């Protein structure tokens, strides 16, 4: 019976080893999973400070944290690990000599949430370098030699919350990074930034600006830069409160403190609106997902939904005015409560007591003014160049017959002083001529003109001789009815 029991025990031992090997093979785990150069503790592998030129092979599939810092790694290729590591959430590669990272290097670790590449020799962040890391939350890239960041290097990294890029040589502000939906910290300090997109930075919410570090950069001095950081100081944002002494700018090759510039003092601006406007005021807190309560200038709480009210609070904590009225003017207070701290914000609303013209009305007014100006110019040109010709530019008019001409009011006659047929003394050496202005008679019209069909009356002869009407070659006179001796 004893040999039978020993045989049965041997079979049970062999069966147990077989089942163990089967489970290991099915899980893809080697029997001796911990590499010789690493220290293994459960699912943590520490291979730090081993002067490793390459990543150890045969890494356990269940590895959750892999520390390869302080080694001699220079390149991270796509095949740096032949084993797929679906549970790896933290990868530490700091203090190596990395100068190249393949765009497919992170394909074996799709669930990575923490990646440390600090203190290496990286120079560029190429296109779509981190795009496969859709679960990445923290990325450390400080103390490298990075000069350029490709605009698509962080495409599809929607979960990224903290990005450290300080102590590099970046000269272009990567505006695409501050637009990542969950980014709460972006450290760009100690780089070579000279200009900032000030208008874009001013529009950022406070919870983004509260984690945007820009100190120790050779920024160009100007008052817009001062206004930006003065606003951050007014809001007590961390980048200014914690590093105020390191906020410098350069002018005339000299370093100046941003807050010592000769600029006008910063003053918080009020919100402005016109009668009937629709307005939304945000409670711009330094932390997301805070509970917000609004209080009116009369110390009344604004409720979410109130019947027949034009003021309400949205679900995101914003204060909304459906139709702004004059009585809405004043200072509104937002009380925000969060897990880490509470915050109180005051916002002043200024209401103008008139409506504002919309874009369509403004366009119509401008168009009408333009048309009026054009018509005025056209009329002036017509008046100057197309008016009828004056009398001095007319041609010489042809004389008309005495029957149809009503333009002459009198006739200036040049006749002898006596009828040659009449008697009397005669002086052959003196030719005397007399002109008479004929008075208006019944045959004349208005202004001494002849009416058509009428003729001038012939005056009766007086004295010695008989005076006659001048012939058609007589000269018209409009001067006087007194005889003039010619």
Question: Which pLDDT does position 20 carry in this prediction?
Answer: 52
Tokens 């031992």 belong to residue: 13
| DSSP conformational letter for 261 | S
Buried b (16+ CB within 10 A) or exposed e, 77-97: eeebbebebeebbbbbbbbbe
Lowest average pLDDT, out of 6-15, 103-112, 221-230, 257-266, goes to: 6-15
**How high is the pLDDT of residue 31?**
46
Position 368 confidence tier, pLDDT thresholds 50, 70, 90: confident
Q: What is the DSSP string of 419-445?
A: -TTS-S---TT---EEE--PPP-TTB-
**What per-residue confidence (pLDDT) applies to 473?**
45
- Rounded CA-CA distance 301/278 in Å is 20
What DSSP string describes 322-373? Answer: SS--GGG-EEEEEEEE-SS-EEEEEEEEEEESSPPP-HHHHHHHHHHHHHHH
Confidence of residue 395 (pLDDT cuts 50, 70, 90): low
Q: At 363, is the pLDDT very low, low, confident or very high (cuts 50, 70, 90)?
A: low
Supply φ then ψ for residue 85, to 5 degrees.
-115, 80
Band (377; pLDDT cuts 50, 70, 90):
confident
Whether residue 277 has pLDDT greater than 80: yes
Query: How many CB atoms are located within 10 Å of the residue 139 CB?
Result: 22
Residue 287 reports pLDDT greater than 70: yes
At residue 353, the pLDDT reads 86
In the chain, count H helices and then E strands.
Answer: 6, 26
Q: What is the mean pLDDT of residues 464-474?
A: 45
Q: What per-residue confidence (pLDDT) applies to 10?
A: 60
Q: What does pLDDT average to over the chain?
A: 80
Comparing CA positions, the residue from 91, 86, 154, 88 lying closest to residue 118 is: 91
Determine how β-strand 162-164 pairs with β-strand 185-187: parallel
Tell me, what's the pLDDT at 369?
A: 84
Q: Would the pLDDT of 406 be above 90?
A: no
At 4 the pLDDT is 47
pLDDT tops 50 at residue 76: yes
Q: Could you give the maximum distance between any two Cα atoms of the chain, in Å?
A: 202
Whether the Cβ atoms of residue 232 and residue 203 lie closer than 8 Å to each other = no
Q: Could you tell me which residues are beta bridge partners of residue 294?
A: 334
Q: What is the pLDDT of residues 296-309, one digit of tens each?
A: 999 999 987 765 57
Between strands 271-274 and 433-435, the pairing is unpaired
Q: How far apart, in whole angstroms, are the C-alpha atoms of residue 280 and residue 284?
A: 12
Q: Cα(235)–Cα(287) distance, rounded to whole angstroms?
A: 13
Q: Which of 347, 289, 285, 345 lies closest to 321, judged by CA?
A: 347
Residues 49-75 have a mean pLDDT of: 94
- 230-248 average pLDDT score: 95
Lowest-confidence region among 9-13, 232-236, 389-393? 389-393
SS3 label, residue 7 = helix
Torsion of CA 186, 190, 192, 195, to 10 degrees: 50
Supply the pLDDT for residue 409.
42
3-state secondary structure of 79: coil
Q: Say which residue the tokens 């003394």 belong to.
A: 425
pTM: 0.67
Mean pLDDT (whole number) for 423-431: 46
Strands 219-220 and 248-251: parallel
Mean pLDDT of 275-299: 93
* Helix or strand run (H / E) with residue 374: helix 359-385
**Residue 407 neighbours by CB under 8 Å, 6+ apart:** 400, 449
Q: Closest Cα to residue 234, out of 339, 340, 346, 333?
A: 346
Residue 380's pLDDT is 85
From first CA to last CA, the distance across the chain in angstroms is 184
∠ Cα 313 319 324 (to 5°): 115
CB atoms inside a 10 Å sphere around CB 221: 20
Q: Are 356 and 338 in contact (CB under 8 A)?
A: no
Average pLDDT over residues 396-410: 46
């Amino acid at each position: 019976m004893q040999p039978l029991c020993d045989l049965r025990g041997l079979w049970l031992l062999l069966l147990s080893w077989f089942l163990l090997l089967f489970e290991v093979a099915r899980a893809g785990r080697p029997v001796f999973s911990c590499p010789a150069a690493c220290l293994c503790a459960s699912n943590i592998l520490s291979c730090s400070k081993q002067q490793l030129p390459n990543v150890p092979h045969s890494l356990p599939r269940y590895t959750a944290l892999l520390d390869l810092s302080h080694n001699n790694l220079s390149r991270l290729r796509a095949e740096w690990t032949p084993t797929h590591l679906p549970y790896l959430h933290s990868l530490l590669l700091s203090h190596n000599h990395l100068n190249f990272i393949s765009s497919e290097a992170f394909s074996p670790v799709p669930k990575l949430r923490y990646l440390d590449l600090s203190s290496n020799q990286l120079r560029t962040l190429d296109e779509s370098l981190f795009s496969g890391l859709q679960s990445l939350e923290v990325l450390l890239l400080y103390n490298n030699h990075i000069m350029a960041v490709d605009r698509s290097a962080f495409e599809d990294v929607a979960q990224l919350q903290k990005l450290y890029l300080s102590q590099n040589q970046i000269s272009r502000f990567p505006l695409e990074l501050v637009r990542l939906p969950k980014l709460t910290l972006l450290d760009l300090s100690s780089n070579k930034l000279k200009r900032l997109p000030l208008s874009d930075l001013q529009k950022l919410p406070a919870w983004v600006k509260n984690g945007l570090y820009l100190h120790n950069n050779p920024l160009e001095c100007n008052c817009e830069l001062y206004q930006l950081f003065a606003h951050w100081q007014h809001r007590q944002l961390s980048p200014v409160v914690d590093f105020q002494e390191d906020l410098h700018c350069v002018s005339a090759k000299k370093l100046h403190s941003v807050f010592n510039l000769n600029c006008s003092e910063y003053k918080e601006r009020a919100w402005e609106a016109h009668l009937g406007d629709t307005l939304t005021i945000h409670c711009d807190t330094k932390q997301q997902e805070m509970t917000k309560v609004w209080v009116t200038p009369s110390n009344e709480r604004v409720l979410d939904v109130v019947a027949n009210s034009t003021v309400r609070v949205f679900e995101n904590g914003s204060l909304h005015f459906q139709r702004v009225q004059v009585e809405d003017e004043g200072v509104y207070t937002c009380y925000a409560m969060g897990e880490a701290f509470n915050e109180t914000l005051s916002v002043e609303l200024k209401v103008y007591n008139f409506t504002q013209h919309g874009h369509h009305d403004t366009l119509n007014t401008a168009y009408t003014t333009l048309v009026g100006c054009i018509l005025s110019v056209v009329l002036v040109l017509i008046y100057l160049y197309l008016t009828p010709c004056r009398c001095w530019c007319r041609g010489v008019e042809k004389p008309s017959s005495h029957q149809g001409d009503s333009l002459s009011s009198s006739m200036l006659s040049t006749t002898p002083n006596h009828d040659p047929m009449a008697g009397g003394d005669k002086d052959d050496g003196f030719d005397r001529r007399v002109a008479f202005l004929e008075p208006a008679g019944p045959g004349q019209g208005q202004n001494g003109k002849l009416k058509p069909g009428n003729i001038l009356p012939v005056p009766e002869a007086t004295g010695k001789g008989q005076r006659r009407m001048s012939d058609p070659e007589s000269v018209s006179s409009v001067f006087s009815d007194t005889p003039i001796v010619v």
